[in-house]
Structure 1
Amino acid sequence: MTQATTAPAPNEPLYRRAVYTFSSAHFLNDLCTTGLVPALIVMYKEALNLSFTESSLIVLISYLTSSISQPFFGMLTDRTPRVWLFTAGVFCTIGGLAMTGAATSFGWLLIFVAISGFGSGAFHPEASRGTHLASGTHKGLAQAIFQVGGNAGQAFGPLMIPLLLIHTGLRGLLWLIPIAFLSLLLTAPMLGWMKEKVADAASKKKEIRGRNNIPGAILLISVIVLRSWCQLGVVVFLPFYMTHLSLAASETLNFVFVGAGALGTFIGGIFSDRIGLKRLMIGSMLVATPFALLLPHLHGVWTVLILLVFGFSVLASFSVTVVYMQRLLPRNIALASGLSIGAGVGAGGIGSVFMGSVADVFGVATVFTILSLLPLAGALISFFLPDDRTQAV
């Protein structure tokens, strides 16, 4: 693989204002998709009298509308930049989920969830590319800050159940509408800078001689899919597995799992700049494997400790896979971002429906047996990824 002939100047600084703005918007976006939607499944199921399979379909619609649209938005904006999608996307994500609080039927619920999903699909490629452009020579750190915002949103999503929605019911989601309008004040000031940086990057694109590594990208997507099945499977089915606990207690355990993952995302991004992307991916998933195997067999305080280490390790590669995909597809940065984030989101939705069907037939315990093997499979595939140090930056 030929390396790019142009690279950022040595020690090019991080544009912190931009990176932290993208991260904050990512927090709001993922709070309302991968954070709240899986956590709300129990409440949606009870309110509309749904089966496990129908409940899982809500996650599928949310994640597929987001993931299928992300690569298309990425390809579209690689050709003709549309930085306004960064602002419009997060607005629709929050507003769409807010309206599910007023849904009177399963059909309307799916429509509002789909609007939220398409908003997320529009948001991610532009926000991730903006982070790439603001990163200077600190690619791993910048993506870690950006992704930890999203993972923190995922973590706080389940926590909103015991803190708010148990007391207000689903109609409490309507309080997200003012937050949707406040998000415009956060994101709109960055649009001028984004337009200028994207135009500058486009003018330099012809100088880059690095080629896209399609086989490597396919292998990386496979790893992302397995990790997503594992992560979302735990979040969706932990409340159904921990039947001896209240809904508030089980959602608090989900907060522990995803919150530890947010910390792992940040630490993993920092260390990836030092030890390399591939090594970090293999190591994190190998570390996660024994804790995934132990999770279904331990109880009490041991469950909390297992979820802490399991969440930290399995999500330590979250930001790493975005940077890795951008190196494998240097000519299509927005597409690379859409694939690396979108593939995981969509795969998680598909996996949730599959796991829901397994739970209906064989029980939730079987689901956790399957989930415990996924990190090991991801680590094995990661061994065959191309050396990230030979890819274009």
Structure 2
Amino acid sequence: MMTNGTVFGVIVAISFCHLLNDMMQSLLPAIYPDLKAELGLSFGQVGLVTLAYQITASILQPIVGLYADKRPTPMALPGGTLFSLAGLTVLSSAHSYGLVLIGASLLGVGSSVFHPESSRVARMAAGGRHGLAQALFQVGGNVGQALGPLAAALVVMRWGQSSLAFFALLALLSGTVLWNVANWYRHHGLTRLKVGGPAMTAGALPKGRALRGILILLALIFSKYVYLASLTSYFTFYLIHRFGLSVENAQLHLFAFLAAVAVGTVLGGPLGDRFGRKYVIWCSILGALPFTLLLPHVGLFWTGPLTVAIGLILASAFPAIVVFAQELVPGKVGMISGLFFGFSFGMGGLGAAALGWIADRTSIETVYQLCAFLPAIGLLTAFLPDVEAERRRSSVA
């Protein structure tokens, strides 16, 4: 079991910590309406808050992952939670735009440590079921993202911005769990990660084909996360402006969308293990296109079901994309995980800033009319290499 089997206890532990991490961090966009009203922010300034958070994580995650590949540091896992604690503490008492940006940046640093190292742990504990392990790890984050707006609607909207300090205490719980995970990582995980490593590297694709595959996967991440940024950052504003919903009701709609994202994520990993990751990527990115095209043109009754369908379909791609990329560049689990988590954060941040700029100069409805075409980038999936076929050809040669 400790050598070859799937260690579900470890996977569940990091998934739970992913839930806590992303729930704490999703409180930031959940309080945007309050921050916008209290500080008199424009949509562009709201987008810059997301950019500060996402870019901090985007730049640091590949660096953390590359460093961990060369010099594994298990205790970085519990240590990283201190940045999330500090970020929420700052945000709980931030009454100036500068402090909001500092708090958002601290949250980004916490993510930059947590995601690449935890993704490495998921692969260590996978026992060959890499898609399932990555999906179970990722779904914890999606559930946490879904709980953030719900927590904001039930707690933050009632007791105000200062209640964020209560959620900061969850970082201490996460740190305790991750301390135990770090001990397993140090004593068992590194050995498991090395098992099969030489064989994987021997069957690696030529650098040119692998690089082409990585660039295509990054383009797919761009389409997915810019579209998701339009919903996570601005969906509540869209519902309030177009349909006259209250902030609380809009947050509940956002919760339904994020819950669908969680379900889609947990389905995507095992489906990729069984049917092939390329097929899951095809269906996930391109399959959302009909629904995104319809969304800007329907009333409130259909807006909810359409956003749930979009979240369910789009989310299934990420575990398949990460594992596909890890197979393209074997032996660089931390770097690849950091690159893709970081790039997704960066694209989400840049997308939020750009979409806020567009909303200020046109309308919030225009944002969704433009973003509707992003899933068409999924056509690039046709040019992804067939990893298994390429490896078979390499081994025969």
Q: TM-score, normalised by structure 1?
A: 0.93
User: In the alignment, which of 74, 92, 115 is matched to residue 106 of structure 2?
Assistant: 115
Q: Look up the match of 1:27.
A: 19
Per-residue CA deviations over 1:97-124 (Å, capped at 9, x if unaligned) read 2320111311122112111111110111
Please give the alpha-carbon distance, in whole angstroms, between the structure 1 residues aligned to 2:195 and 2:271.
32
Q: Look up the match of 2:220.
A: 223
Please give the alpha-carbon distance, in whole angstroms, between the structure 1 residues aligned to 2:259 and 2:266.
11
User: In the alignment, which of 7, 14, 23 is matched to residue 15 of structure 1?
Assistant: 7
Matched residue count: 382
Per-residue CA deviations over 1:343-366 (Å, capped at 9, x if unaligned) read 111100001100011011111111
Q: Look up the match of 2:395.
A: none
Per-residue CA deviations over 1:123-161 (Å, capped at 9, x if unaligned) read 111100000010012111111100000111111111122
Higher mean C-alpha deviation, range 76-85 or range 193-202: 193-202
| Distance change >3 Å, CA 382–CA 15, structure 1 → 2 | same
CA displacement at 1:180 relative to structure 2: 1.7
Q: Look up the match of 1:195.
A: 186
Per-residue CA deviations over 1:75-100 (Å, capped at 9, x if unaligned) read 11111111111112233224312320
Contact 2:21 2:171 in 1 (8 A): no
Please give the alpha-carbon distance, in whole angstroms, between the structure 1 residues aligned to 2:316 and 2:331.
26
Query: SS of the residue aligned with 1:383?
Result: helix
Letter of the 2:354 counterpart: F
Per-residue CA deviations over 1:32-60 (Å, capped at 9, x if unaligned) read 22x22222221221222111111111000
Q: Look up the match of 1:5.
A: none
Q: Look up the match of 2:346.
A: 346
Please give the alpha-carbon distance, in whole angstroms, between the structure 2 residues aligned to 1:181 and 1:32.
12
Asked whether 1:143 is paired with 2:134, we answer yes
Contact 2:47 2:352 in 1 (8 A): yes
Please give the alpha-carbon distance, in whole angstroms, between the structure 2 residues aligned to 1:130 and 1:136.
11
Contact 1:327 1:391 in 2 (8 A): no
Q: Look up the match of 2:373.
A: 373
Please give the alpha-carbon distance, in whole angstroms, between the structure 2 residues aligned to 1:365 and 1:239.
12
Q: Look up the match of 1:325.
A: 325
Contact 1:28 1:90 in 2 (8 A): no
Q: Look up the match of 2:289.
A: 289
Asked whether 1:265 is paired with 2:262, we answer no
Query: SS of the residue aligned with 1:63?
Result: helix
Q: Look up the match of 1:54.
A: 45
Q: Look up the match of 2:31.
A: 40
Please give the alpha-carbon distance, in whole angstroms, between the structure 2 residues aligned to 1:27 and 1:152.
6
Contact 1:86 1:124 in 2 (8 A): no
Q: Look up the match of 1:387.
A: 386
Provide the aligned C-alpha RMSD in A: 1.9
Please give the alpha-carbon distance, in whole angstroms, between the structure 2 residues aligned to 1:128 and 1:94.
21
Letter of the 1:16 counterpart: F
Share of identical aligned residues, percent?
33
| Distance change >3 Å, CA 78–CA 25, structure 1 → 2 | same
Please give the alpha-carbon distance, in whole angstroms, between the structure 2 residues aligned to 1:286 and 1:387.
19
CA displacement at 1:205 relative to structure 2: 4.6
